[in-house]
Structure 1
């Protein structure tokens, strides 16, 4: 649903346009990522050895690269991907395109039921681990 909403606001651009752009820059086939943002469209490389992710955003929702770099310094690049603008100026018909490494794992959003199980035991452990 979020993917349809994202492209319904852009009559001059299709999901296929973004997928082809991403396939060119990531060097192989892509698929929509499992979790999508409200203001972006995200794809990931199908082949594990490519490991790339590309995210498309409107200029109004552009990423603050400097802020992300500071988070990366604090939490390491293993946990915080640092995006860079895509080839060709990073723009596709009015969208900003960013490439980043796929940090892997399961998103907190998809794991929320497990994190909250047993009176939030795993969630408390996770928060404690991040605090250390």
Structure 2
């Protein structure tokens, strides 16, 4: 039998709703149900499309997302006031703040560097 873990992803994967008996309850499980549903949907989208390659950046991004929703819930801010009319636009703008950990940014930088180097080589007609 696998050792018990208290982190959010493991709890979600094994179907266990954290109760605090095996460690701290993740912040997103302390949210009101409708805010938790919104955060889980955003996390799922980010997991599939976020493109963040660095683990420390992913942790910071998810923590900031939950913090935003915790504060909004505490202030009574409606979910639509947080994400607007288009949740995809919201999450894409949100993840853009963490682009330094993005694999696509690394690939864009790699492409630019390769083309700059190729253009500087003899016959590359560098500028």
User: Taking structure 1 as the reference length, what is the TM-score of the superposition?
Assistant: 0.26
Choose between structure 1 and 2: higher helix proportion: 2
User: Taking structure 2 as the reference length, what is the TM-score of the superposition?
Assistant: 0.27
Rg larger for: 2
Q: Specify which structure has the bigger relative contact order, considering alpha-carbon pairs within 8 angstroms and separated by 6 or more residues.
A: 2
Choose between structure 1 and 2: higher strand proportion: 1
